[in-house]
Structure 1
């Protein structure tokens, strides 16, 4: 497997992966995380244009996608019921989605992101049990609760060297 930046030509496959992920979440008790068609194509197109949308490729096929950037996330400025591990510059991983029967893809993507900067922050919905297991398995520490743009809470995690 390899991680590469997504291109405009990858957009249809990326959107297909997100559609599959939304259906999976809905079927598994997590319909609230990516409601109302989130993430929209315009958001993903912007991420591709900025160079922050990535794909995981296996045997020539795109099997996963995510947003990664080393940036200050505005939703991470306020954290409740805890605190971040540090205030050093950090990477963020958002909108990870996998469409493959192969195991370990999400972990591979998280490990790739961590290798880029050594200080990662990520959040997920409390009902996203598969993601919570992946975060625990990869050594992410629960730091508290943040609120995304629509005001809904997310569990916040960080991992640092």
Structure 2
């Protein structure tokens, strides 16, 4: 699986993956995290423009998509019911989604991101049991609760090479 920066030509495939992901979340007991419209097309267009949108591809077929952002994330400035493992520079993974039937997207994403920086943060909705499982399986530690822009809470996780326990 190749991981590369997304291009404008990838947009329709990417939006189709997000549509599938929203339906999958509804079917697995997580209807509220992305609702009917998240992420909006304009956000993905901006992610592509600023070169923080990545795709996992097999040939011409996109199997997954994620945003990877280096630097401080304002969403993570305040953490409740816990603490970050450290305050070292980090990368954040947002909006990760897989195409129907795709395998290995999360693992590929994490391996790619760890190859750039060994201190990563990610969050997910309390109802997203599938994502919680793969995040913890990848060696992330639950650190507390953060709130996203609309005020809703998310479970916050961090992977730090210096703090790893089960990788």
Length-normalised TM-score, structure 1: 0.97
Which moves more between the two structures, 5-14 or 110-119?
Answer: 110-119
Q: Is the CA contact 2:18–2:97 (under 8 Å) kept in the aligned structure 1? A: yes
Distance 1:131 1:78, change over 3 A: same
Q: Does 1:12 align with 2:12?
A: yes
Q: Does 1:94 align with 2:90?
A: no
Equivalent residue, structure 1, for 2:165: none
Distance 2:43 2:27 in 1: 24
Which moves more between the two structures, 107-116 or 139-148?
Answer: 107-116
Q: How does 1:7-156 map to 2 (within 5 A)?
A: 7-156=7-156
* SS of alignment partner, residue 31 of structure 1: coil
* SS of alignment partner, residue 110 of structure 1: helix
How many residue pairs align between the two structures?
Answer: 161
Residue 28 of structure 1: how far off its partner (Å) = 1.2
Distance 1:100 1:114 in 2: 25
* SS of alignment partner, residue 63 of structure 2: strand
Which moves more between the two structures, 7-16 or 94-103?
Answer: 94-103
* SS of alignment partner, residue 114 of structure 1: helix
* SS of alignment partner, residue 29 of structure 1: coil
Distance 1:110 1:95 in 2: 13
Distance 2:54 2:7 in 1: 9
Residue 75 of structure 1: how far off its partner (Å) = 0.8
Which moves more between the two structures, 21-30 or 40-49?
Answer: 21-30
Consecutive unaligned residues of structure 2, counting only runs of 5 or more, are 162-167
Consecutive unaligned residues of structure 1, counting only runs of 5 or more, are none
Distance 2:153 2:136 in 1: 19
